[in-house]
């Protein structure tokens, strides 16, 4: 099955979807360094197009089974200015246009938790309705509120015809799917109605409780890392063994295992692993501890991206994550070499979808399409 990705960033979503069986016809991204990073990785000689999505004629790529992407999130980010539909950076209209023009069998779009803010709820509902009925476009001079009313009336009508999608969304924590990071993201999934597909989001595969048991009851976490005396199991008999079907949350220590200390002078064995000075702790920016999932890797809006993109070491000192460490937290492969300055690389990583989370979602979508006999045309 093939796909077209918009707002591809540095390709985290595309990599995961590719691992799940989707072959991208093209990745569209306006950021030059992000495009350079994808090209340098040489991902199956993908067709990487550096362009503003608003200038792209999507119909040139038909037929496409899956449309994917992460529409720029600044209008909705908790760290941004929260302008939503008044923000010219809102690219959801382009996502809707791509669905309308390409008529894919499915789509998946990712965005930040801020999209679900109470103040944005009416506009988020409007986004979902547009994706459900992409051919019912706004009329000339019609504002979004009036368009939303027409969409709502159409959606609640007894007869729905034309290009329509069953759309679902969920707020997922990447840590629950094996990503060593607390990263809450909204996933929006749609299947073309004529396929008759019933969708449910994949159940979490990893748990906080299983990590707590491994650390505080049977001590298996410390054994895995060859650490003795780090923490004597103290809750034996107080915590029950969580359900066996789930694995434990992955931690920063898990993610960084095998990497040399960036201050050791051995850094050039691993790409993007240069030590960066200047990390400072201040309220709300205290760094991630080694034996929990990382705090969210952030792209940053002003200055140094994500002042809390730091790690708290065993000796109590704090330092910035290296680019490679941040990439591991986001589950990128070690041979993915990021292009650009440290700030730009961290920006790329902070904006990315964790590869492993993208794989989990992509695999579930692929299975639904295959079971429905889709993906062939």
* pLDDT attached to residue 276: 87
Q: Count of alpha carbons within 13 Å of 54, Cβ hemisphere only? A: 7
User: % helix / strand / coil in the chain, to the nearest 5?
Assistant: 35, 15, 50
Does 128 have pLDDT greater than 80?
yes
Give every CB contact of residue 232 below 8 A, 6+ residues apart in sequence. 219
For residue 304, what are its two tokens?
A: 């140094």
For residue 252, what are its two tokens?
A: 């920063």
Q: What is the mean pLDDT of the chain?
A: 88
Q: What predicted TM-score, i.e. pTM, was given to this entire model?
A: 0.91
Is domain 2-204+353-371 annotated with CATH 3.30.70.1400? no
Q: CA angle 251-233-258, nearest 5°?
A: 30
* pLDDT attached to residue 43: 66
Q: How many angstroms separate the CA atoms of 285 and 372, rounded?
A: 47
Does 84 have pLDDT greater than 50?
no
> How far from chain centre, in Å, is Cα 343?
20
* Higher pLDDT among residues 16 and 271, named by residue: 16
Does 304 have pLDDT greater than 60?
no
**Among 312, 281, 296, which Cα is nearest to 350's?**
296
Q: Is 345 in the active site? A: no
Cα separations in angstroms, 122 against 29, 245, 247: 28, 38, 37
Confidence band of 240 (pLDDT split at 50, 70, 90): low
3-state secondary structure of 167: strand
The β-bridge partners of 106 are 66, 191
Confidence band of 217 (pLDDT split at 50, 70, 90): confident
* pLDDT attached to residue 44: 63
Q: Rg of the chain over CA atoms, in angstroms?
A: 22
pLDDT digits (tens, 9 = 90+) for 7-47: 999 999 999 999 999 999 999 999 999 999 999 997 667 89
* Higher pLDDT among residues 171 and 159, named by residue: 171
Q: How many angstroms separate the CA atoms of 85 and 125, rounded?
A: 12
pLDDT digits (tens, 9 = 90+) for 62-82: 999 999 999 986 555 444 443
For residue 372, what are its two tokens?
A: 């429905």
Catalytic residue (choose from 35, 73, 146, 345): 73
* pLDDT attached to residue 236: 56
* pLDDT attached to residue 234: 59
**Of 69-78, 234-243, 285-294, which has the strongest mean pLDDT?**
285-294
């Amino acid at each position: 099955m093939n796909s077209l990705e918009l707002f591809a960033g540095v390709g985290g979503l595309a990599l995961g979807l590719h691992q799940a069986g989707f072959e991208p016809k093209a990745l569209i991204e306006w950021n030059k360094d992000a495009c350079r990073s994808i090209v340098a990785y040489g991902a199956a000689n993908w067709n990487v197009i550096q362009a503003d999505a608003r200038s792209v004629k999507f119909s040139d790529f038909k037929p496409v089974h899956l449309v994917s992407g992460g529409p720029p999130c600044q209008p909705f980010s908790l760290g941004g200015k929260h302008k939503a539909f008044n923000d010219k950076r809102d690219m959801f209209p382009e996502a809707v246009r791509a669905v309308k023009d390409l008529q894919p069998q499915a789509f998946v779009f990712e965005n930040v938790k801020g999209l679900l803010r109470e103040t944005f709820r009416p506009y988020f509902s409007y986004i979902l309705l547009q994706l459900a009925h992409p051919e019912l476009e706004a009329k000339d001079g019609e504002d979004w509120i009036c368009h939303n009313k027409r969409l709502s009336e159409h959606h609640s009508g007894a007869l729905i015809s034309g290009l329509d999608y069953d759309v679902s969304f969920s707020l997922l924590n990447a840590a629950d799917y094996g990503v060593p990071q607390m990263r809450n993201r909204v996933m929006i999934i749609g299947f073309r109605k004529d396929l008759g597909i019933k969708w449910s989001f994949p159940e979490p595969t990893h748990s906080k409780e299983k990590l707590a048991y491994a650390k505080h009851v049977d001590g298996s976490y410390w054994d895995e890392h060859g650490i003795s005396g780090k923490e004597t199991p103290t809750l034996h008999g107080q915590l029950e063994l969580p359900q066996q079907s789930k694995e434990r949350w992955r931690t920063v220590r898990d993610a960084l295992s095998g990497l040399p200390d960036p201050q050791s002078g051995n850094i050039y064995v691993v790409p993007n692993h240069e030590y960066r000075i200047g990390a400072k702790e201040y309220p709300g920016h205290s760094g991630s501890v080694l034996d929990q999932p990382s705090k969210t890797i952030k792209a940053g809006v002003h200055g140094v991206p994500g002042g809390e993109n730091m790690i708290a070491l065993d000796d109590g000192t704090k330092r910035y994550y290296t680019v490679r460490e941040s990439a591991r937290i986001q589950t990128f492969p070690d041979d993915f070499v990021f292009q650009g300055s440290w700030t730009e690389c961290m920006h790329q990583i902070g904006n990315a979808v964790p590869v492993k989370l993208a794989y989990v979602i992509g695999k579930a979508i692929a299975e639904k399409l295959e079971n429905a006999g889709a993906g062939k045309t």
